[in-house]
Chain A
Amino acid sequence: MKYIDEFRNSAVAQQLIKQIKLLANPQREYRLMEFCGGHTHAIHRYALNQVLPSNIKLIHGPGCPVCVLPIPRIDQAIWLASQTEVILCSYADMLRVPGDHQDSLIKAKSRGADIRIVYSVNDALELAKHNPTKQVVFFAIGFETTTPPTAHAILTAQKLGLTNFKVFANHVLTPVAMEAILDSDEVNLDGFIGPSHVSIIIGANAYAQVATQYQKPIVIAGFEPLDILQSILYLLELINQGKTEIINQYSRAVSAKGNLAAQQMVSQVFKLRDEFSWRGLGSIAKSGLAINENFQGYDAEKYWQIPIFKTSDVKACECPQILRGLKQPRECKLFAKACTPEHPMGACMVSSEGACAASYQYRID
């Protein structure tokens, strides 16, 4: 596949690893957080963590939307799906995430709830067109990458006069979460491997605060193995020189300002919530989006009085610590024992981007 295979060339990877080894100062550690679950997955899939010098520590970040969605929001989605007039549409990842008492959307589906897996929010729009007597609810999750398609779908529904299309909005913001991690001071970090596709939308400049105020270098990296290795090389250079800049390694897709048309659509349809709860990180001010008043006819939270749930995480599940970069999946007592992708106890084992799922799938025992 063009523009994919070239970025997986193993001879080049060997060269980049050689350069990294030359640059890595053995007297110190380099603690780098890959924010995105997509990077976590690629790092495990290509075993990059096993070929890097041992003083380069890759710390998994919270950039897995399925993982950071707090359990009470899953309970609310199950509640929505259980309303007789509702067809709930969701991306596949969400279906097996455990809610209260290990209930899930897939279990609700087996009880008779009408839940459909969709590839795109456009599929939900189509369902709304063809089921005028039903309320079609799109369970919208995701970071800045996934928000513009949801915004566009709402604008399209308005244009078409589709009144039976609703969105249960759970979109969250990346830079704010990075700042929350840095604010908490729990994790010692030297730099970030920055998001690929989030950055296409928000642009490289969006991380200025992380670089300047928090003094952390950030290299925006593509998702392929050579992209990640080249970005680690850049990070080492920056850290060795004490520089806190933003470098855009993924310049074939990411610009400084991002996709302005997409940003405009998002700001037209959504507004900042005062606060939003994240699994692992707790409540973060101005970190999530709600549908703004002009589009409230499409807002599931306005159309229904959805009950508030107070479910907490399974006690032994270390998902919250793993999402904050404080623990590795293997340090969780449940990992690969009580908790497996077939029987997940926490969201980090459900999503293919979750740190636990990546560690489990590519583990070498």
Chain B
Amino acid sequence: MCLAVPTQIIKLLDNQMALTSLAGVEKEISLALLAEPVSIGDYVIVHVGYALSKLDEADAQKTLAYFTELLDEENYTQTRE
């Protein structure tokens, strides 16, 4: 029920609506619950047809950088062994 997915905004429409694309599937969603402004190219977390929040891409990159670090550490250890 609480499933929600990061979806990219490809077009802004009237009445606080936007067209989004998820893996090529386009869908109209509502931006009515968002206080912050969004632009084309932004990712939003979508649930039952509503964007719940804007995805903080810088923050996502930080988490991914941590994952890359983990892999690098492993490769480093393996080389030393």
Which residues of A are interface residues toward B (Cβ below 8 A)? 1-4, 6, 9, 11-12, 15-16, 18-19, 36-38, 63-66, 91, 93, 119-123, 141-143, 145-146, 148-149, 152, 195-198, 200-201, 223, 226, 230, 249, 251-255, 259-262, 265, 351, 353
Counting chain A CB atoms within 10 Å of each CB, which of B4, B32, B34, B57 scores highest? B32
Interface size on B, residues (CB 8 A): 34
| Residues in B1-19 with C-beta less than 8 Å from chain A | 1-6, 8
Q: Verify A252–B55 contact, CB threshold 8 A.
A: yes
Q: Verify A196–B2 contact, CB threshold 8 A.
A: yes
CB-CB under 8 A for A146 and B30, given A2-B6, A253-B55: no
Q: Verify B30–A65 contact, CB threshold 8 A.
A: no
Q: Is B38 engaged at the interface, CB distance under 8 Å to the other chain?
A: no
Q: Verify B1–A145 contact, CB threshold 8 A.
A: yes
CA distance A198 to B33 in the complex (A): 14
Q: Verify A253–B1 contact, CB threshold 8 A.
A: no
Q: Verify A65–B59 contact, CB threshold 8 A.
A: no
Which 10 A-B pairs have CB atoms at the shortest separation, nearest pair first? A120-B49, A261-B35, A252-B60, A3-B6, A15-B70, A145-B2, A252-B59, A12-B67, A197-B2, A262-B33
The proximity string for B residues 38-49 relative to A, scoring 1 for CB distances below 8 Å and 0 otherwise, is 000001010111
Residues of A within 8 A of B71 (CB): 11-12, 15
- Residue in chain B with minimal CB distance to A151: B33
B interface, over-half SS: mixed
CB distance from B43 to the nearest CB of A (A): 6
CA distance A100 to B47 in the complex (A): 31
Contacts A65-B1, A120-B30 aside, 10 further interface pairs with beta carbons under 8 A come to A3-B60, A38-B1, A64-B1, A251-B56, A252-B55, A253-B45, A253-B55, A259-B34, A260-B35, A353-B2
- Residue in chain B with minimal CB distance to A255: B53
CB distance from B22 to the nearest CB of A (A): 7
Q: Verify A261–B34 contact, CB threshold 8 A.
A: yes
CB distance from B9 to the nearest CB of A (A): 13
Q: A197's contact among B43, B49, B52, B67, by CB below 8 Å, is which? A: B52
Residues of B within 8 A of A200 (CB): 4, 45, 52-53
